[in-house]
Amino acid sequence: MSDKAKAKQRIEELRTEIEAHNRLYYIDAKPDITDREYDQLLQSLEELERKFPEFESPTSPTQRVGGAPLENFESARHAVPMMSLSNTYSKEELVEFDHRIRKLIPEESFAYILEPKIDGVAISLRYENGELVRAVTRGDGTTGDDVTANIRTIHSIPLRLSDLMPPAVLEVRGEIYMDTAGFAKLNQQRQDAGQEPFANPRNACAGSLKQLDPREVAKRPLDAIFYATGKLDGISFETHEQMLQTLKGYGLRITPNYWLCQTIEEILDQLDVLENMRHEFPFEMDGGVIKVNERRLYEPLGYTAKSPRWAVAYKYEPEQAETTLRAISIQVGRTGVLTPVAELVPVLLAGSTVRRATLHNEDEIRRKDIKIGDKVIIEKAGEIIPAVVRVGTEKRTGEEVDFTMPTTCPVCGSDVEKREGEVALRCINLQCPAQVKNWIAHYASRGAMDINGLGEALVEQLVDSGLVKNPAELYSLKKVEVLGLERMGEKSADNLIKGIAESKQRPFDRVLFGLGIRHVGKGAATILANEFKTIDALMKADLQRLETIRDIGSIVGKSVVDYFQAPDALAVIAQLREAGVNFKQADTGGSDELEGLTFVLTGSLETMTREEGGDKIRTRGGKVSSSVSKNTSYLVAGENAGSKLEKAEELGVTVLNEEQFIALLGSDEKRKDQKAGQMGFGF
């Protein structure tokens, strides 16, 4: 045998041996060698791979340290949509859930599975012939970010399945999380380095997965648990429990505890057991997930528009904690609204340290009688956003101080005002740095100008450096200026400049939405763009004219008139015009053909998102509603249409499938050849 053949054989032996030890350590919790012995094996493999680079492999254990930084994340479409679960806090509703299921399948017998609900970041992994080829975040359920490079750094996730004959395709869904001990250590390291600590493990996990440098991700204490499947080819499962055990056999980590129950009464009892174990898990756990065990019943039970009928999440009541409100600070938003924020003596709540909580507005402070120095009870709304629930007035010492909202903006020092009929105070300076940052981020967002690569962190740098003072100044940015910003490389700079230039051709309705006119959302922007066709015509419209437009009304109309009378706004529009931004709505060739018709869209469409479908309706004069009623003209039903479809059929509303909808649009819309695989869900 040649030296090269011997090296290849030894490399494969080492990879197999190291992966076996990874499984013993991370999955089975039964390591049988020391850390030093493991490091020696890994070092031997690294040396051989350096000497024989032709045998390098993306599934080698040496690849977990992370490769070169990424320029950006590519979008990836899920072969099978990742749906969410319906939630309940009531055991009575769980009994009703059981009654609904038994009514739908009265002749069937079945069991339930109860699993802990992990508060992490949903992920979908795709294995082809046993090798990990892609990892995608949930995103909007249809499309997510390809974070494969980052996921490869997580040691508990196998790069190759532990099976000699793996299925052709196995998509597994689960949760990426940061264990509580690792989270505490990471936050201490950040504080020691003078950095802002993460709010909670879930935020830290989400932030880690968004890192463009996999080498940084490799330093984070991330882990994963899997509990569902997506597309399958070459494998099937009779029960959920069988699926879990098969995933475990492949080397994928599953929940450390689950309960097989024959009745809903058993589930209710075990939920109490699970709650008592709440802080025993290495991850944040905020409830239990109940699923029908027999997978053959999933299709007969069906789905609503957003979730399956055969599963539900039961969430425990948020934990509360008492602390002292030591100060109240002010945040300034995109439209200049001043929001009071409670600065708290740090307190541990639901597994994380809470230092701040929202107070919403001055009226809320008055209603709850909140004073600086008060003992307050806080909880995490949805286990995410801390909020002050009540004040311990009985514990007051007399040293507490009333809070008064500022009369000037804390960011720029300009005057603030309270408009008639509103509770919020607003900074009147459109050039306030806080407003500018939020405005530019809104302008660049996906629903508006969709400028690739222009995220919040980059917006912060652009404004703080003085390069950009409003959205129009984005178009005068030079590559050399962008290259001077932190963590900005040649390719990233090129992509940003290109993305900004491409945004000039966005439809006028998206430009109008991006301007950030108060009360003008995406729907109103489309209506106005279709009605007036150009920004010049819109600028000339008076309130009386605007009030005559269906679905606009006096509030939106007055906001539009006020906006176009503001000198600062007119200056920005002039700059955008000079930069070549599109201020004219394209002729759709029949913009009134759907006038007077109301549509509701439900389910998953193959050739477009529901938002895109709504845009097509509005550009043809139609109206889009979120709920079905007797006034609905058409229901457009994609895959997994649920309760809205049922209601439409009850009311006799005409139902269109996607092909019929495209035909009704009267355009040359082409159907894409996209066939969904076997249905599966990530929760």
Q: Which residues pair with 398 in a beta bridge?
A: none
Q: Compute the 3-state secondary structure of the chain and give helix, strand, coil in percent, each to the nearest 5.
A: 40, 20, 40
Q: Which amino acid is at 619?
A: T
Annotated catalytic residues are 117
Residues 8, 320: Cα–Cα separation, whole Å: 58
Pinpoint the alpha helices (H) of 237-375: 240-249, 264-276, 298-301, 362-368
Q: Radius of gyration of the chain from Cα atoms?
A: 28
Nearest to 210 by CA among 144, 140, 118, 133: 144
Cβ pair 184, 96 in contact under 8 A: no
Residues 636, 599: Cα–Cα separation, whole Å: 7
Centre a 10 Å sphere on the Cβ of residue 382 and count the other Cβ atoms it contains. Answer: 12
Nearest to 313 by CA among 294, 293, 291, 297: 291
Pairing of strands 112-118, 285-292: antiparallel
Token output for 278: 């709440």
Nearest to 432 by CA among 516, 519, 337, 523: 337
Sign of CA dihedral 613, 617, 618, 624: negative
For residues 320-337, one letter each, b for 16 or more C-beta atoms within 10 angstroms of the residue's C-beta and e for the rest, the string is: ebebebeebebebbbbbb
Cβ pair 403, 371 in contact under 8 A: yes
